[in-house]
Structure 1
Amino acid sequence: MNLAYIPSPTISQFQIGPVTIHIYALTMLIGIIAAVWITSIRWKRYGGTFDQILDTSLVAVPCGIIGARLYHIITTPERFFGPNGDWVEMFRIWNGGLGIWGAIVLGALGAWAWMRHKHYPMALLADAIAPALLVAQAIGRLGNWFNQELYGKPTTLPWGLKLNTQGSAIGNSEQCYDGATCPTGTLFHPTFLYEMVWNLIGAALIIWIGRKTVQLLKAGSLFALYVIWYTAGRTWIEMLRIDFSHEILGLRVNVWVSICVFIAGVIAFIVIQRVGQPTPLLAERLRTSTELEARELLEREQARKAKPSRN
Protein backbone atom coordinates (compact mmCIF):
# COMPACT_ATOMS: atom_id res chain seq x y z
CA MET A 1 0.00 0.00 0.00
CA ASN A 2 1.35 3.42 -0.98
CA LEU A 3 1.24 5.87 1.92
CA ALA A 4 2.72 8.79 -0.05
CA TYR A 5 1.91 9.88 -3.59
CA ILE A 6 1.08 12.87 -5.79
CA PRO A 7 -2.70 13.12 -6.32
CA SER A 8 -4.22 13.98 -9.67
CA PRO A 9 -6.82 16.72 -10.12
CA THR A 10 -10.38 15.53 -10.64
CA ILE A 11 -11.11 18.12 -13.32
CA SER A 12 -9.49 19.44 -16.48
CA GLN A 13 -12.02 22.20 -17.16
CA PHE A 14 -14.56 24.44 -15.47
CA GLN A 15 -17.44 26.68 -16.43
CA ILE A 16 -17.82 30.45 -16.17
CA GLY A 17 -21.38 31.02 -17.26
CA PRO A 18 -21.74 29.54 -20.76
CA VAL A 19 -17.96 29.52 -21.33
CA THR A 20 -15.88 26.37 -20.78
CA ILE A 21 -12.37 27.08 -19.50
CA HIS A 22 -9.89 24.28 -20.25
CA ILE A 23 -7.08 24.26 -17.71
CA TYR A 24 -4.60 22.93 -20.30
CA ALA A 25 -5.23 26.01 -22.45
CA LEU A 26 -5.08 28.22 -19.36
CA THR A 27 -1.62 26.92 -18.41
CA MET A 28 -0.43 27.52 -21.96
CA LEU A 29 -1.69 31.11 -21.78
CA ILE A 30 0.01 31.71 -18.42
CA GLY A 31 3.21 30.21 -19.81
CA ILE A 32 3.13 32.56 -22.81
CA ILE A 33 2.54 35.58 -20.58
CA ALA A 34 5.43 34.55 -18.31
CA ALA A 35 7.70 34.06 -21.32
CA VAL A 36 6.87 37.49 -22.76
CA TRP A 37 7.43 39.14 -19.37
CA ILE A 38 10.80 37.44 -18.72
CA THR A 39 11.97 38.06 -22.28
CA SER A 40 11.03 41.73 -22.12
CA ILE A 41 13.01 42.22 -18.90
CA ARG A 42 16.10 40.65 -20.45
CA TRP A 43 15.59 42.45 -23.78
CA LYS A 44 15.42 45.84 -22.08
CA ARG A 45 18.79 45.13 -20.45
CA TYR A 46 20.20 44.78 -23.96
CA GLY A 47 18.77 48.18 -24.87
CA GLY A 48 15.36 47.29 -26.32
CA THR A 49 11.81 48.04 -25.21
CA PHE A 50 8.76 46.09 -24.09
CA ASP A 51 6.83 47.20 -27.18
CA GLN A 52 9.44 45.56 -29.40
CA ILE A 53 8.96 42.24 -27.61
CA LEU A 54 5.18 42.60 -27.62
CA ASP A 55 5.12 43.21 -31.37
CA THR A 56 7.43 40.26 -31.97
CA SER A 57 5.28 38.05 -29.74
CA LEU A 58 2.15 38.91 -31.73
CA VAL A 59 3.88 37.34 -34.72
CA ALA A 60 5.86 34.53 -33.09
CA VAL A 61 3.24 33.13 -30.67
CA PRO A 62 0.58 32.28 -33.29
CA CYS A 63 3.29 30.79 -35.50
CA GLY A 64 4.57 28.75 -32.55
CA ILE A 65 1.12 27.38 -31.67
CA ILE A 66 0.50 26.36 -35.27
CA GLY A 67 3.95 24.76 -35.47
CA ALA A 68 3.42 22.88 -32.21
CA ARG A 69 0.12 21.47 -33.43
CA LEU A 70 1.53 20.54 -36.83
CA TYR A 71 4.40 18.66 -35.16
CA HIS A 72 1.91 16.65 -33.10
CA ILE A 73 -0.26 15.92 -36.13
CA ILE A 74 2.73 14.76 -38.18
CA THR A 75 4.13 12.51 -35.44
CA THR A 76 0.74 11.01 -34.42
CA PRO A 77 -1.38 11.08 -37.61
CA GLU A 78 -3.59 8.15 -36.57
CA ARG A 79 -5.29 10.36 -33.99
CA PHE A 80 -6.64 12.57 -36.78
CA PHE A 81 -6.76 10.40 -39.91
CA GLY A 82 -7.55 6.80 -40.78
CA PRO A 83 -10.42 4.57 -39.67
CA ASN A 84 -10.28 5.62 -36.00
CA GLY A 85 -9.19 9.21 -36.53
CA ASP A 86 -11.15 12.44 -36.23
CA TRP A 87 -9.77 15.28 -38.35
CA VAL A 88 -11.78 17.84 -36.38
CA GLU A 89 -9.63 16.94 -33.37
CA MET A 90 -6.78 18.84 -35.03
CA PHE A 91 -8.39 22.09 -33.89
CA ARG A 92 -9.10 21.03 -30.29
CA ILE A 93 -5.75 21.90 -28.81
CA TRP A 94 -7.25 22.08 -25.31
CA ASN A 95 -7.36 18.26 -25.39
CA GLY A 96 -3.55 18.20 -25.44
CA GLY A 97 -1.12 17.58 -28.25
CA LEU A 98 1.47 20.33 -28.80
CA GLY A 99 5.02 19.51 -29.86
CA ILE A 100 7.67 21.86 -28.52
CA TRP A 101 9.97 21.46 -31.52
CA GLY A 102 7.27 22.52 -33.94
CA ALA A 103 6.62 25.54 -31.74
CA ILE A 104 10.28 26.50 -31.66
CA VAL A 105 10.88 26.06 -35.39
CA LEU A 106 7.81 27.92 -36.68
CA GLY A 107 7.84 30.43 -33.81
CA ALA A 108 11.52 31.18 -34.47
CA LEU A 109 10.82 31.67 -38.18
CA GLY A 110 8.06 34.14 -37.36
CA ALA A 111 10.28 36.00 -34.90
CA TRP A 112 13.20 35.99 -37.35
CA ALA A 113 11.03 37.48 -40.11
CA TRP A 114 9.83 40.28 -37.82
CA MET A 115 13.32 40.91 -36.43
CA ARG A 116 14.72 41.14 -39.92
CA HIS A 117 11.95 43.54 -40.93
CA LYS A 118 12.69 45.78 -37.92
CA HIS A 119 16.48 45.35 -38.10
CA TYR A 120 16.79 43.95 -34.56
CA PRO A 121 19.56 41.44 -33.68
CA MET A 122 17.96 37.98 -33.74
CA ALA A 123 20.82 36.47 -31.73
CA LEU A 124 20.03 38.81 -28.82
CA LEU A 125 16.37 37.80 -28.89
CA ALA A 126 17.39 34.14 -28.85
CA ASP A 127 19.48 34.69 -25.72
CA ALA A 128 16.77 36.80 -24.08
CA ILE A 129 14.09 34.17 -24.64
CA ALA A 130 16.17 31.08 -23.73
CA PRO A 131 15.33 30.93 -19.98
CA ALA A 132 11.84 32.29 -20.65
CA LEU A 133 11.05 29.28 -22.85
CA LEU A 134 12.07 26.89 -20.09
CA VAL A 135 9.84 28.67 -17.57
CA ALA A 136 6.93 28.66 -20.03
CA GLN A 137 7.40 24.96 -20.73
CA ALA A 138 7.48 24.23 -17.00
CA ILE A 139 4.18 26.05 -16.50
CA GLY A 140 2.67 24.31 -19.51
CA ARG A 141 3.43 20.88 -18.04
CA LEU A 142 0.89 21.59 -15.32
CA GLY A 143 -1.71 21.24 -18.05
CA ASN A 144 -0.64 17.62 -18.52
CA TRP A 145 -1.17 17.06 -14.80
CA PHE A 146 -4.73 18.37 -14.98
CA ASN A 147 -5.38 16.31 -18.11
CA GLN A 148 -3.86 13.20 -16.46
CA GLU A 149 -1.78 12.53 -19.56
CA LEU A 150 1.82 11.86 -20.56
CA TYR A 151 2.74 10.15 -17.30
CA GLY A 152 5.45 7.51 -17.03
CA LYS A 153 5.87 3.88 -16.13
CA PRO A 154 4.43 2.37 -12.92
CA THR A 155 6.55 3.11 -9.85
CA THR A 156 6.56 2.53 -6.10
CA LEU A 157 8.38 5.78 -5.33
CA PRO A 158 6.67 8.02 -2.75
CA TRP A 159 6.28 10.78 -5.35
CA GLY A 160 4.44 8.51 -7.78
CA LEU A 161 1.39 9.94 -9.53
CA LYS A 162 -1.99 8.54 -8.52
CA LEU A 163 -4.71 8.81 -11.15
CA ASN A 164 -8.31 9.71 -10.52
CA THR A 165 -11.01 7.55 -12.05
CA GLN A 166 -13.66 10.16 -11.31
CA GLY A 167 -14.35 13.52 -12.88
CA SER A 168 -13.70 14.88 -16.37
CA ALA A 169 -9.93 14.55 -16.64
CA ILE A 170 -8.81 13.02 -19.94
CA GLY A 171 -6.68 10.32 -18.35
CA ASN A 172 -9.29 8.98 -15.97
CA SER A 173 -10.01 6.09 -18.33
CA GLU A 174 -6.48 5.59 -19.63
CA GLN A 175 -4.61 4.11 -16.71
CA CYS A 176 -2.17 2.20 -18.91
CA TYR A 177 -1.69 3.64 -22.37
CA ASP A 178 0.39 0.63 -23.44
CA GLY A 179 -2.56 -1.72 -23.11
CA ALA A 180 -1.40 -3.51 -19.97
CA THR A 181 -3.78 -3.98 -17.07
CA CYS A 182 -2.71 -1.91 -14.08
CA PRO A 183 -4.07 -2.78 -10.63
CA THR A 184 -6.19 -0.16 -8.92
CA GLY A 185 -3.98 2.23 -7.00
CA THR A 186 -0.96 1.86 -9.29
CA LEU A 187 1.35 4.88 -9.16
CA PHE A 188 3.12 6.27 -12.21
CA HIS A 189 6.24 8.34 -12.74
CA PRO A 190 5.12 12.02 -12.75
CA THR A 191 7.04 12.92 -15.89
CA PHE A 192 5.31 16.30 -15.98
CA LEU A 193 6.93 17.08 -12.62
CA TYR A 194 10.34 15.81 -13.69
CA GLU A 195 10.29 18.10 -16.71
CA MET A 196 9.04 21.05 -14.66
CA VAL A 197 11.91 20.74 -12.21
CA TRP A 198 14.46 20.11 -14.97
CA ASN A 199 13.29 23.19 -16.92
CA LEU A 200 13.29 25.52 -13.91
CA ILE A 201 16.81 24.43 -12.96
CA GLY A 202 17.89 25.01 -16.56
CA ALA A 203 16.35 28.49 -16.62
CA ALA A 204 18.23 29.45 -13.45
CA LEU A 205 21.50 28.06 -14.83
CA ILE A 206 21.17 29.92 -18.14
CA ILE A 207 20.49 33.21 -16.35
CA TRP A 208 23.51 32.63 -14.09
CA ILE A 209 25.78 31.65 -16.99
CA GLY A 210 24.64 34.68 -18.97
CA ARG A 211 25.55 37.06 -16.16
CA LYS A 212 28.94 35.47 -15.56
CA THR A 213 30.02 35.13 -19.19
CA VAL A 214 28.45 38.12 -20.97
CA GLN A 215 31.88 39.24 -22.17
CA LEU A 216 33.01 35.75 -23.17
CA LEU A 217 30.17 33.95 -24.93
CA LYS A 218 29.03 35.16 -28.32
CA ALA A 219 25.43 36.23 -28.91
CA GLY A 220 23.20 33.21 -29.43
CA SER A 221 25.19 30.97 -27.09
CA LEU A 222 22.54 30.95 -24.36
CA PHE A 223 19.90 29.73 -26.78
CA ALA A 224 22.21 26.91 -27.85
CA LEU A 225 22.66 26.03 -24.16
CA TYR A 226 18.87 26.01 -23.80
CA VAL A 227 18.62 23.49 -26.62
CA ILE A 228 21.36 21.32 -25.10
CA TRP A 229 19.87 21.40 -21.60
CA TYR A 230 16.29 20.79 -22.63
CA THR A 231 17.04 17.91 -24.99
CA ALA A 232 19.32 16.22 -22.46
CA GLY A 233 16.45 16.14 -19.98
CA ARG A 234 13.77 15.38 -22.53
CA THR A 235 15.70 12.29 -23.68
CA TRP A 236 15.60 10.47 -20.33
CA ILE A 237 12.16 11.78 -19.39
CA GLU A 238 10.70 10.67 -22.72
CA MET A 239 12.05 7.16 -22.17
CA LEU A 240 9.95 6.90 -18.98
CA ARG A 241 6.67 7.70 -20.71
CA ILE A 242 4.18 4.97 -21.66
CA ASP A 243 1.71 6.93 -23.80
CA PHE A 244 1.50 5.78 -27.40
CA SER A 245 4.33 6.83 -29.68
CA HIS A 246 5.80 5.59 -32.92
CA GLU A 247 9.18 3.93 -32.49
CA ILE A 248 12.29 3.70 -34.64
CA LEU A 249 14.79 0.96 -33.77
CA GLY A 250 13.10 0.51 -30.41
CA LEU A 251 13.19 4.17 -29.39
CA ARG A 252 10.31 6.63 -29.34
CA VAL A 253 10.30 9.24 -32.12
CA ASN A 254 10.71 12.08 -29.62
CA VAL A 255 13.77 10.37 -28.15
CA TRP A 256 15.41 10.35 -31.56
CA VAL A 257 14.39 13.96 -32.15
CA SER A 258 15.86 14.98 -28.78
CA ILE A 259 19.14 13.18 -29.50
CA CYS A 260 19.47 14.76 -32.93
CA VAL A 261 18.59 18.25 -31.69
CA PHE A 262 21.02 17.83 -28.76
CA ILE A 263 23.83 17.11 -31.22
CA ALA A 264 22.74 20.07 -33.35
CA GLY A 265 22.76 22.27 -30.24
CA VAL A 266 26.32 21.26 -29.38
CA ILE A 267 27.48 21.94 -32.94
CA ALA A 268 25.65 25.29 -32.98
CA PHE A 269 27.29 26.32 -29.69
CA ILE A 270 30.76 25.59 -31.12
CA VAL A 271 30.04 27.38 -34.41
CA ILE A 272 28.63 30.43 -32.59
CA GLN A 273 31.84 30.80 -30.61
CA ARG A 274 33.81 30.85 -33.85
CA VAL A 275 31.68 33.01 -36.12
CA GLY A 276 29.18 34.72 -33.81
CA GLN A 277 29.24 38.37 -32.83
CA PRO A 278 29.91 39.70 -29.31
CA THR A 279 26.83 40.41 -27.22
CA PRO A 280 27.97 43.98 -26.27
CA LEU A 281 28.35 44.86 -29.97
CA LEU A 282 24.84 43.69 -30.85
CA ALA A 283 23.45 45.37 -27.74
CA GLU A 284 24.92 48.66 -28.94
CA ARG A 285 23.24 48.17 -32.33
CA LEU A 286 19.94 47.49 -30.59
CA ARG A 287 20.24 50.64 -28.48
CA THR A 288 20.91 52.63 -31.66
CA SER A 289 17.83 51.16 -33.36
CA THR A 290 15.72 51.85 -30.27
CA GLU A 291 16.85 55.47 -30.09
CA LEU A 292 16.16 55.91 -33.81
CA GLU A 293 12.66 54.51 -33.39
CA ALA A 294 12.00 56.84 -30.46
CA ARG A 295 13.09 59.86 -32.49
CA GLU A 296 10.96 58.84 -35.47
CA LEU A 297 7.96 58.30 -33.21
CA LEU A 298 8.46 61.71 -31.61
CA GLU A 299 8.78 63.38 -35.02
CA ARG A 300 5.56 61.73 -36.26
CA GLU A 301 3.75 62.82 -33.11
CA GLN A 302 4.99 66.38 -33.46
CA ALA A 303 4.01 66.44 -37.13
CA ARG A 304 0.53 65.15 -36.26
CA LYS A 305 0.04 67.86 -33.65
CA ALA A 306 1.36 70.57 -35.99
CA LYS A 307 -0.99 69.53 -38.80
CA PRO A 308 -3.99 71.91 -38.87
CA SER A 309 -7.26 70.21 -38.11
CA ARG A 310 -10.20 70.41 -40.53
CA ASN A 311 -13.49 71.60 -39.09
Structure 2
Amino acid sequence: MRAYALCIITGIVVAAWLAERRLVRRGGPPGAISDIALWAVPFGILGGRLYHVLTDPELYFGAGRNPWNAFAVWNGGLGIWGAVALGAVGAWIGAHRAGVSFALVAEAVAPTLPIGQAIGRWGNWFNQELFGRPTSLPWGLQISPSHRPVGYETVTTFQPTFLYESLWDLGVAALVWWVGTRFRVGGFRLFAVYVAAYTVGRGWIEYLRIDKVNHIFGLRLNDWTSLLIFAAAVTFLVVTRPKTSTVRPTQGAGAISD
Protein backbone atom coordinates (compact mmCIF):
# COMPACT_ATOMS: atom_id res chain seq x y z
CA MET A 1 0.00 0.00 0.00
CA ARG A 2 1.30 3.46 -0.87
CA ALA A 3 2.15 5.73 2.05
CA TYR A 4 -0.13 8.45 0.60
CA ALA A 5 -3.12 6.13 0.70
CA LEU A 6 -2.18 4.94 4.19
CA CYS A 7 -2.17 8.53 5.49
CA ILE A 8 -5.59 9.22 3.94
CA ILE A 9 -7.09 6.01 5.32
CA THR A 10 -5.61 6.61 8.78
CA GLY A 11 -7.04 10.13 8.83
CA ILE A 12 -10.49 8.83 7.85
CA VAL A 13 -10.45 6.10 10.50
CA VAL A 14 -9.34 8.45 13.30
CA ALA A 15 -11.86 11.14 12.33
CA ALA A 16 -14.69 8.58 12.16
CA TRP A 17 -13.75 7.03 15.51
CA LEU A 18 -13.73 10.40 17.26
CA ALA A 19 -16.97 11.45 15.55
CA GLU A 20 -18.62 8.22 16.70
CA ARG A 21 -17.76 9.02 20.32
CA ARG A 22 -19.11 12.56 19.98
CA LEU A 23 -22.33 11.39 18.31
CA VAL A 24 -23.06 8.81 21.02
CA ARG A 25 -22.46 11.42 23.74
CA ARG A 26 -25.07 13.58 22.05
CA GLY A 27 -27.68 10.86 22.03
CA GLY A 28 -26.95 9.32 18.65
CA PRO A 29 -27.12 5.54 18.14
CA PRO A 30 -23.86 3.57 18.45
CA GLY A 31 -22.40 2.52 15.11
CA ALA A 32 -24.20 5.25 13.15
CA ILE A 33 -21.00 6.99 12.06
CA SER A 34 -19.66 3.74 10.61
CA ASP A 35 -22.83 3.34 8.56
CA ILE A 36 -22.72 6.98 7.45
CA ALA A 37 -19.02 6.71 6.54
CA LEU A 38 -19.85 3.95 4.05
CA TRP A 39 -21.58 6.68 2.04
CA ALA A 40 -19.58 9.76 2.99
CA VAL A 41 -16.08 8.39 2.35
CA PRO A 42 -16.50 7.21 -1.27
CA PHE A 43 -18.52 10.33 -2.09
CA GLY A 44 -15.78 12.44 -0.51
CA ILE A 45 -12.97 10.75 -2.42
CA LEU A 46 -14.90 11.10 -5.66
CA GLY A 47 -15.64 14.76 -4.96
CA GLY A 48 -12.05 15.50 -4.00
CA ARG A 49 -10.74 13.94 -7.19
CA LEU A 50 -13.32 15.64 -9.40
CA TYR A 51 -12.44 19.05 -7.95
CA HIS A 52 -8.75 18.45 -8.54
CA VAL A 53 -9.18 17.24 -12.12
CA LEU A 54 -11.70 19.94 -13.07
CA THR A 55 -9.58 22.77 -11.66
CA ASP A 56 -6.30 21.45 -13.13
CA PRO A 57 -7.39 19.76 -16.38
CA GLU A 58 -4.10 20.57 -18.12
CA LEU A 59 -2.43 17.92 -15.95
CA TYR A 60 -4.47 15.16 -17.54
CA PHE A 61 -5.77 16.32 -20.92
CA GLY A 62 -4.04 17.72 -23.96
CA ALA A 63 -0.87 17.02 -25.88
CA GLY A 64 1.49 14.65 -24.10
CA ARG A 65 -0.95 13.90 -21.28
CA ASN A 66 -2.54 10.59 -20.37
CA PRO A 67 -6.24 11.04 -19.49
CA TRP A 68 -6.25 7.75 -17.59
CA ASN A 69 -4.02 9.38 -14.96
CA ALA A 70 -7.12 11.26 -13.83
CA PHE A 71 -8.07 8.03 -12.06
CA ALA A 72 -4.66 7.56 -10.40
CA VAL A 73 -5.69 8.84 -6.98
CA TRP A 74 -2.68 7.13 -5.39
CA ASN A 75 -0.41 9.68 -7.07
CA GLY A 76 -2.03 12.48 -5.08
CA GLY A 77 -4.57 15.10 -6.04
CA LEU A 78 -7.63 15.36 -3.79
CA GLY A 79 -9.26 18.78 -3.47
CA ILE A 80 -10.65 19.33 0.03
CA TRP A 81 -13.47 21.51 -1.29
CA GLY A 82 -14.84 18.77 -3.52
CA ALA A 83 -14.28 16.18 -0.80
CA VAL A 84 -16.30 18.14 1.76
CA ALA A 85 -19.06 19.03 -0.72
CA LEU A 86 -19.73 15.54 -2.09
CA GLY A 87 -18.79 13.97 1.24
CA ALA A 88 -21.61 15.98 2.80
CA VAL A 89 -24.02 14.60 0.19
CA GLY A 90 -22.93 11.08 1.07
CA ALA A 91 -23.22 11.86 4.80
CA TRP A 92 -26.75 13.17 4.27
CA ILE A 93 -27.74 9.98 2.48
CA GLY A 94 -26.13 7.86 5.20
CA ALA A 95 -27.72 9.87 8.02
CA HIS A 96 -31.15 9.62 6.36
CA ARG A 97 -30.81 5.86 6.00
CA ALA A 98 -29.61 5.52 9.60
CA GLY A 99 -32.41 7.72 10.92
CA VAL A 100 -30.00 10.22 12.47
CA SER A 101 -30.32 14.01 12.37
CA PHE A 102 -27.96 15.38 9.73
CA ALA A 103 -27.39 18.48 11.87
CA LEU A 104 -26.29 16.24 14.76
CA VAL A 105 -23.87 14.44 12.44
CA ALA A 106 -22.46 17.80 11.29
CA GLU A 107 -21.91 18.79 14.93
CA ALA A 108 -20.21 15.48 15.71
CA VAL A 109 -17.75 15.63 12.82
CA ALA A 110 -16.97 19.37 12.97
CA PRO A 111 -13.84 19.06 15.17
CA THR A 112 -12.87 15.58 13.96
CA LEU A 113 -12.63 16.34 10.24
CA PRO A 114 -9.64 18.69 10.66
CA ILE A 115 -7.89 16.03 12.74
CA GLY A 116 -8.35 13.60 9.86
CA GLN A 117 -7.06 16.24 7.46
CA ALA A 118 -4.01 16.84 9.67
CA ILE A 119 -3.11 13.17 9.40
CA GLY A 120 -3.89 12.89 5.70
CA ARG A 121 -1.71 15.87 4.83
CA TRP A 122 1.39 13.83 5.64
CA GLY A 123 0.75 11.90 2.45
CA ASN A 124 2.06 14.97 0.60
CA TRP A 125 5.39 14.51 2.38
CA PHE A 126 5.73 10.96 1.14
CA ASN A 127 4.76 12.04 -2.40
CA GLN A 128 7.03 15.12 -2.25
CA GLU A 129 4.28 17.37 -3.56
CA LEU A 130 2.46 20.63 -2.82
CA PHE A 131 5.41 22.25 -1.08
CA GLY A 132 6.07 25.97 -0.86
CA ARG A 133 8.67 28.52 -1.83
CA PRO A 134 12.42 28.01 -1.37
CA THR A 135 13.60 28.54 2.19
CA SER A 136 16.73 28.29 4.31
CA LEU A 137 14.79 27.78 7.54
CA PRO A 138 15.93 24.86 9.72
CA TRP A 139 12.68 23.00 9.05
CA GLY A 140 12.96 23.40 5.28
CA LEU A 141 11.80 20.37 3.30
CA GLN A 142 14.37 18.65 1.10
CA ILE A 143 12.95 17.77 -2.30
CA SER A 144 14.62 15.34 -4.70
CA PRO A 145 15.60 16.74 -8.14
CA SER A 146 12.89 14.73 -9.93
CA HIS A 147 10.14 16.48 -7.93
CA ARG A 148 11.41 20.06 -8.20
CA PRO A 149 9.33 22.33 -10.45
CA VAL A 150 10.71 24.08 -13.50
CA GLY A 151 12.82 27.06 -12.48
CA TYR A 152 13.77 25.58 -9.13
CA GLU A 153 16.10 22.82 -10.30
CA THR A 154 19.03 24.09 -8.22
CA VAL A 155 17.01 24.68 -5.03
CA THR A 156 17.13 21.90 -2.46
CA THR A 157 14.90 23.02 0.44
CA PHE A 158 11.35 24.37 0.31
CA GLN A 159 8.61 25.52 2.70
CA PRO A 160 6.86 22.41 4.12
CA THR A 161 3.35 23.71 3.51
CA PHE A 162 1.91 20.27 4.22
CA LEU A 163 3.31 20.60 7.76
CA TYR A 164 1.90 24.10 8.18
CA GLU A 165 -1.55 22.93 7.14
CA SER A 166 -1.35 19.86 9.36
CA LEU A 167 -0.57 22.04 12.39
CA TRP A 168 -3.24 24.55 11.40
CA ASP A 169 -5.80 21.75 11.14
CA LEU A 170 -5.01 20.63 14.68
CA GLY A 171 -5.49 24.23 15.83
CA VAL A 172 -8.83 24.37 14.00
CA ALA A 173 -9.93 21.16 15.72
CA ALA A 174 -9.07 22.64 19.13
CA LEU A 175 -10.89 25.89 18.30
CA VAL A 176 -14.05 24.12 17.12
CA TRP A 177 -14.07 21.88 20.19
CA TRP A 178 -13.65 24.92 22.46
CA VAL A 179 -16.42 26.89 20.72
CA GLY A 180 -18.78 23.94 20.93
CA THR A 181 -17.97 23.39 24.62
CA ARG A 182 -17.82 26.99 25.81
CA PHE A 183 -20.73 28.38 23.80
CA ARG A 184 -24.10 27.04 22.75
CA VAL A 185 -22.98 26.39 19.22
CA GLY A 186 -23.89 23.12 17.61
CA GLY A 187 -25.31 21.54 14.49
CA PHE A 188 -24.55 23.26 11.21
CA ARG A 189 -23.31 26.37 13.03
CA LEU A 190 -20.44 24.45 14.60
CA PHE A 191 -19.60 22.98 11.22
CA ALA A 192 -19.55 26.52 9.81
CA VAL A 193 -17.00 27.46 12.48
CA TYR A 194 -14.78 24.65 11.21
CA VAL A 195 -15.19 25.80 7.60
CA ALA A 196 -14.44 29.46 8.38
CA ALA A 197 -11.40 28.66 10.52
CA TYR A 198 -9.95 26.22 8.01
CA THR A 199 -10.28 28.61 5.06
CA VAL A 200 -8.33 31.32 6.89
CA GLY A 201 -5.33 29.06 7.22
CA ARG A 202 -5.71 27.54 3.79
CA GLY A 203 -5.62 31.01 2.29
CA TRP A 204 -2.16 31.97 3.59
CA ILE A 205 -0.77 28.46 3.14
CA GLU A 206 -1.94 28.43 -0.46
CA TYR A 207 -0.11 31.73 -0.97
CA LEU A 208 3.19 30.01 -0.10
CA ARG A 209 2.80 27.15 -2.56
CA ILE A 210 4.57 27.15 -5.92
CA ASP A 211 2.96 24.18 -7.67
CA LYS A 212 1.47 25.08 -11.03
CA VAL A 213 -2.22 25.96 -10.78
CA ASN A 214 -4.70 28.22 -12.53
CA HIS A 215 -4.84 31.87 -11.46
CA ILE A 216 -7.68 34.39 -11.59
CA PHE A 217 -6.75 38.09 -11.35
CA GLY A 218 -3.36 37.15 -9.95
CA LEU A 219 -4.66 34.87 -7.19
CA ARG A 220 -4.51 31.09 -7.12
CA LEU A 221 -7.85 29.44 -7.74
CA ASN A 222 -7.87 27.87 -4.27
CA ASP A 223 -7.37 31.30 -2.73
CA TRP A 224 -10.54 32.50 -4.43
CA THR A 225 -12.33 29.37 -3.29
CA SER A 226 -11.15 29.98 0.28
CA LEU A 227 -12.39 33.57 0.20
CA LEU A 228 -15.82 32.63 -1.15
CA ILE A 229 -16.33 29.74 1.25
CA PHE A 230 -15.11 31.83 4.21
CA ALA A 231 -17.62 34.55 3.31
CA ALA A 232 -20.41 31.98 3.00
CA ALA A 233 -19.57 30.38 6.36
CA VAL A 234 -19.37 33.71 8.21
CA THR A 235 -22.61 34.90 6.59
CA PHE A 236 -24.33 31.71 7.75
CA LEU A 237 -23.05 32.22 11.31
CA VAL A 238 -24.29 35.82 11.34
CA VAL A 239 -27.69 35.05 9.87
CA THR A 240 -28.33 32.12 12.23
CA ARG A 241 -26.92 33.68 15.40
CA PRO A 242 -29.19 33.43 18.46
CA LYS A 243 -30.65 36.57 19.97
CA THR A 244 -29.80 35.60 23.56
CA SER A 245 -26.53 34.90 25.36
CA THR A 246 -24.89 31.68 24.24
CA VAL A 247 -22.12 31.35 26.82
CA ARG A 248 -22.20 27.97 28.52
CA PRO A 249 -21.76 27.91 32.32
CA THR A 250 -18.31 26.88 33.45
CA GLN A 251 -19.06 26.30 37.13
CA GLY A 252 -21.82 24.82 39.20
CA ALA A 253 -24.35 22.13 38.49
CA GLY A 254 -25.20 23.54 35.10
CA ALA A 255 -21.70 23.08 33.68
CA ILE A 256 -21.52 21.05 30.50
CA SER A 257 -18.53 18.90 29.64
CA ASP A 258 -17.65 17.25 26.37
TM-score, with length taken from structure 1: 0.75
The match for 1:199 is 169
Q: How far is the alpha carbon of 1:124 from its aligned partner?
A: 1.3
Q: Which amino acid aligns with 1:249?
A: F
Q: Are the counterparts in 2 of residues 56 and 115 from structure 1 also a CA contact under 8 Å?
A: yes
Q: Which amino acid aligns with 1:220?
A: F
The match for 2:238 is 270
Alignment of 1:206-221 (within 5 A): 206-213=176-183, 216-221=184-189
CA RMSD of aligned residues (A): 1.6
Q: Specify every segment of 5 or more residues in structure 1 that has no aligned partner in the other structure, as ranges.
A: 1-20, 166-171, 279-311
Q: How far is the alpha carbon of 1:110 from its aligned partner?
A: 1.3
Alignment of 1:226-265 (within 5 A): 226-265=194-233
The match for 1:125 is 105
The match for 2:53 is 73
The match for 2:255 is none
Q: Specify every segment of 5 or more residues in structure 2 that has no aligned partner in the other structure, as ranges.
A: 247-258
Segment drifting more, 45-54 vs 32-41: 45-54
The correspondence for 2:121, drawn from 127, 131, 141, is 141
The match for 2:252 is none
Q: Distance in 2 between matches of 1:90 and 1:272?
A: 40
Alignment of 1:39-50 (within 5 A): 39-50=19-30
Q: Are the counterparts in 2 of residues 218 and 273 from structure 1 also a CA contact under 8 Å?
A: no
Which fold has the larger relative contact order, with Cα–Cα distance below 8 Å and residues 6 or more apart in sequence? 1
The correspondence for 1:180, drawn from 151, 173, 185, is 151
Q: How far is the alpha carbon of 1:244 from its aligned partner?
A: 0.6
Q: How far is the alpha carbon of 1:86 from its aligned partner?
A: 1.2
Q: 1:103 and 1:143, CA in 2 relative to 1: closer, same or farther beyond 3 A?
A: same
Q: Are the counterparts in 2 of residues 40 and 49 from structure 1 also a CA contact under 8 Å?
A: no
Q: How far is the alpha carbon of 1:180 from its aligned partner?
A: 1.1
Q: Distance in 1 between matches of 2:99 and 2:30?
A: 16
Q: Is the aligned partner of 1:89 residue 2:59?
A: no
Q: Distance in 2 between matches of 1:44 and 1:53?
A: 9
Q: Is the aligned partner of 1:223 residue 2:191?
A: yes
Q: Distance in 2 between matches of 1:136 and 1:81?
A: 31
Q: Are the counterparts in 2 of residues 28 and 143 from structure 1 also a CA contact under 8 Å?
A: yes
Alignment of 1:161-180 (within 5 A): 161-163=141-143, 165=144, 172-175=145-148, 177=149, 179-180=150-151
Q: Are the counterparts in 1 of residues 179 and 185 from structure 2 also a CA contact under 8 Å?
A: no
The correspondence for 1:151, drawn from 131, 154, 159, is 131
Q: Distance in 1 between matches of 2:42 and 2:51?
A: 14
TM-score, with length taken from structure 2: 0.90
Q: Which amino acid aligns with 1:125?
A: V
Instruction: Render the CA deviation track for 1:258-294: whole Å, top value 9, x for unaligned.
Output: 111010110111223259xx9xxxxxxxxxxxxxxxx
Q: Distance in 2 between matches of 1:218 and 1:56?
A: 19
The match for 1:111 is 91
Instruction: Render the CA deviation track for 1:146-184: whole Å, top value 9, x for unaligned.
Output: 111000000121111112x3xxxxxx5122x2x214425
Identity %: 48
Q: Is the aligned partner of 1:36 residue 2:7?
A: no
Q: Distance in 1 between matches of 2:4 and 2:111?
A: 21
Q: Distance in 2 between matches of 1:50 and 1:82?
A: 49
Q: Is the aligned partner of 1:25 residue 2:5?
A: yes
Equivalent residues, number: 244
What secondary structure sits across from 2:169 in the alignment? helix
Q: How far is the alpha carbon of 1:218 from its aligned partner?
A: 4.7
